[in-house]
Chains A and B, each alone.
Chain A
């Protein structure tokens, strides 16, 4: 086992070092978290509550500085290909439950003087009020667990937008959003210090001005760098992993036989998502039942939807032959999708295998049977069959009965369970 896994991060720590390793890493990160919170004075409820009386806005300064620094580091690393943004946990957006929960928390904050993380370091430094607060947390969390299965759960699950990010919301490149946030936050810090001085808090120390200027300048410069290097496209990402993944294509490890696909369609334990990347007219003539048509341009946008599918999902891309499906496969693999395969020989091969015997179907269906084009177009990825009508998935071969066909094939699918992620 390698000590250092290949970039990009995040790394499969559990697969490499087991649960103990994962929990040790988590505990070390937690140690840093607790240490810094305590250092900033967040074990002290009075210091925290001061934020809301405007004379000491340490909470805002620490939080937003942390967000800026982490954000700039994350998107620099993603831009350089050191970390894969698709595999980072981005809290899914449930807009209104999040806002309502936030409002309740805000009220709890001003009454109780802590939030969950800060009360932990309060307890660690023996603050009695923090101990009462943590007791309250347990009661509140318990109350939530007991009440959420009723009528509230409809609202709690409402306004779901999935993995939805600010660059998507505003239609701006990630780097531009990062730069705007950094610039706005620097202005906010300046404003906050003026307010503190007005409210009888500490006046900004002139001796620190130089450092603040340098720090702000460094952050803005870093954000500008994020904007300049940009975020990698699917093609960039494929370039980085081509050496590792191309052999899977060449050795035909990911091209599955039609019968294997049909067995998985029939398997209740596995969700099959079929992506048909042919053009609309071919798709209308014939497609496998439940296959969804998607153009190459739509693929990248579709990735975030596909990434949210359950772990037992098998993705199969298909085209008339294999060429276009293989291009789509590269995009999806580059975007970190797991369990993705190509239909071997494409729709042409599927029709060759499941060209239903005439005596097994009705006379009408017989009339629908495709015939091999006498003079099929040369080259790859053309539909080699002629259809008398555009039958789509009404065609008998769109949903063959797997039990009627005894076809032997080499099984290639190995379902991988993805790493479970979730916020705290």
Chain B
């Protein structure tokens, strides 16, 4: 295994402790900026930024994309992009401190790495599509919306769990 550090990975934090800290981060975000946390919005804008380099005309003809990058608008000119960048650095910092930055593939014991990668790609496609359909991902729509008591977010959260539980049995080979 190619680990960045020689250290043994440390055990993960207690889930309730991590939850309390995450709640404090979420509150801080709302308190300071008025907005919660999010990931898919930032990713969307990074994607549109790339599209804008290669196909600016196309963006200027697509209403959904114009709002992010139409004309001279820069899709990276948005705080969710920078929040996502911070997430990357924060994840790396914790990984480094806890000895968990290592090139590896996590999967169930019964499948090969390439199978896992293809499944990750397929799941990512669904997740990406679904998160835009729901106007936010688990953090932007779920965590953030639920904590300010949005009805839509409280309907959305069970749907995510139901979707996953409905297929978990059939896909157990992937994970167990």
Binding site for B on A (CB under 8 A): 9-11, 13, 19, 22-41, 43-47, 49-53, 58, 60-71, 73-74, 77, 82-83, 85, 87-95, 97-130, 132-146, 148-149, 156, 161, 163-169, 174, 177-178, 189, 208, 212, 215, 419, 421-424
Contacts and interface: CB of A to CB of B under 8 A. Distances in A.
Residue of A13, A106, A112 with most partner-chain B CB within 10 A: A106
Nearest to B116: A129
B20 A126 contact: no
Contacts of B71: none
Contacts of A138: 43, 47, 124, 128
Contact of B106 (A65, A113, A120): A113
B124 A112 contact: yes
Q: What does DSSP make chain A's interface, helix, strand, loop or mixed? A: helix
27 contacts: A10-B31, A25-B79, A28-B86, A29-B32, A31-B86, A32-B90, A33-B90, A33-B139, A34-B92, A36-B90, A47-B106, A67-B143, A68-B23, A71-B149, A73-B31, A104-B163, A106-B164, A112-B121, A138-B47, A140-B130, A141-B128, A143-B125, A146-B62, A161-B151, A164-B150, A423-B140, A424-B40
A10 to B, nearest CB: 3
A128 B113 contact: yes
A104 B32 contact: no
Given A19-B77, A102-B156, A103-B163, A36 B25 contact: yes
B82 A36 contact: no
B69 to A, nearest CB: 10
A276 B135 CA distance: 36
Contact of B149 (A26, A64, A121, A166): A166
Contacts of B63: 149
B130 A423 contact: no
Contacts of B153: 91, 93, 98
B57 to A, nearest CB: 14
A45 B83 contact: no
Nearest to A24: B82
B21 to A, nearest CB: 5
B108 A46 contact: yes
B132 interface: yes
Contacts of B27: 69-70, 73-74, 77
Given A105-B138, A138-B47, 16 more contacts: A26-B82, A27-B85, A29-B32, A34-B94, A38-B90, A39-B98, A61-B15, A91-B153, A97-B133, A98-B159, A114-B127, A116-B43, A133-B120, A163-B150, A422-B80, A424-B83
Contacts of B121: 112, 132-133, 135-136, 139
Contacts of A11: 32-33
B126 to A, nearest CB: 3
Given A104-B163, A108-B123, A34 B91 contact: yes
Contact of A113 (B25, B123, B130, B159): B123
B128 A140 contact: yes
B79 A90 contact: no
A50 B32 CA distance: 34
Residue of B4, B138, B151, B172 with most partner-chain A CB within 10 A: B151
A139 to B, nearest CB: 5
B139 A29 contact: no
Contacts of B84: 30, 120, 424
B89 A31 contact: yes
B156 A62 contact: no
Contacts of A117: 37, 39, 87, 137-139
A34 B134 contact: no
Contacts of B85: 27, 30
Contacts of A63: 19, 138, 142-143
B124 A140 contact: yes
A424 B120 contact: no
B70 interface: no
B129 A43 contact: no
Given A36-B22, A71-B147, A130-B120, A102 B30 contact: no
A63 B157 CA distance: 10
Task: Give the top 7 A-B pairs by smallest Cβ distance, nearest first.
Answer: A424-B38, A112-B123, A106-B163, A136-B124, A30-B86, A65-B19, A140-B128
B60 interface: no
A422 B107 CA distance: 35
Residue of B90, B95, B113 with most partner-chain A CB within 10 A: B90
Contact of A166 (B37, B103, B154): B154
A103 B12 contact: no
Nearest to B67: A422
Contact of A105 (B44, B120, B137): B137
Nearest to A164: B151
Contacts of B43: 116, 134, 137-138, 141
B83 A91 contact: no
